[in-house]
Structure 1
């Protein structure tokens, strides 16, 4: 799984850059024809990786229940996000990945509950499967963010 964690380590800075370079208004803007925004997509990938790895392993997640409710699958932006929440997400992008890798190395994810993902129909049978799917999921949302950036500028 070294390669998977290497890719996570390389993809997360893209999300960080958007959080640092975009104004709060840009992060919160929902362009015409879209149903979410940049900050929702970044919060969503953060929460999803926590759900797929920790919750499905019966372990406590490293994000709040409020954050899960706000960014989980099926949610949508309900209002603007504050700069404080952007800063929290920015920090969690780093800290949760570091903790995830450490917990993985310690063998913490040994009680994984199988889960079939709606996106592809694949069944995740282990935390290794969950990590690989989470990486695909982050790439998918990175592309969506790139489209949102273009839409916001127009």
Structure 2
């Protein structure tokens, strides 16, 4: 896969996420149906935070995100722990929209390079190349899109995209 194809795929999957966000009734954003660990807002914010962390870690750089994103949407966080400083849907959308363009700018010409720090997915598997981490983040975003679809169905919201 060429670098341009990789970035096109990254943008395609992000545009699908943004379409899902735009098609979501705000009254369902923070509801957490039985059987789900989080809500739609958390999944949308987590997509941003996870990609920001993983890509910057492999580059050996600090993630570029407001503290309230990390506090609200990092792995292991939960809406039940939120205070009053949770990012708004407008903030989440802006960060999700801007992120793939920043990533392309940072990664162009570097996707075949070894990262500064490997991404240990499990104790048996580690990703060392930047492009491996980008592929993983595309998969990860699709995984959370599936969770969002499940949450929307649980709310009776059939407007997916």
TM > 0.5 fold call: yes
Quote the offset at 1:51 in angstroms: 0.6
* 8 Å CA contact retained: 2:68, 2:85: no
Q: CA contact under 8 A between 2:60 and 2:116: conserved in structure 1?
A: yes
Partner in structure 2 of residue 126 of structure 1: 129
After superposition, residues 57-96 of structure 1 pair within 5 angstroms as 57-77=59-79, 78-79=81-82, 85-96=88-99
1:85-136 CA distance string (max 9 Å, x none): 2101101112111011011116498652012124x95311122111011011
Higher helix fraction (1 or 2): 1
Rounded Cα–Cα distance in structure 2 between residues aligned with 1:7 and 1:107: 17
Q: Which residue pairs with 1:116 in the alignment?
A: 120
2:41 aligned residue (31, 39, 42): 39
Q: Matched residues in 2 for 1:26 and 1:82: separation? A: 19
Q: Are the counterparts in 2 of residues 4 and 135 from structure 1 also a CA contact under 8 Å?
A: no
C-alpha distance in 2, partners of 1:103/1:8?
A: 14
- How far apart, CA to CA, are the structure 2 residues paired with 1:148 and 1:28? 10
* TM-score, L = length of structure 2: 0.82
Partners of 1:19 and 1:27 within 8 A in 2: no
- The RMSD of aligned alpha carbons is 2.6
TM-score after normalising by structure 1: 0.85
Q: How does 1:4-15 map to 2 (within 5 A)?
A: 4-15=6-17
Structure 2 residue ranges without an equivalent (≥5): none
Flag the 1:69–1:87 CA change in 2: closer, same or farther, 3 A: same
Q: Distance in 1 between matches of 2:4 and 2:124?
A: 25
Q: Who is 2:154 aligned against?
A: 151
Query: More strand per residue: 1 or 2?
Result: 2
Distance (Å, rounded) in 1 between the aligned partners of 2:78 and 2:87:
19
CA distance in 2, matches of 1:81, 1:138: 26
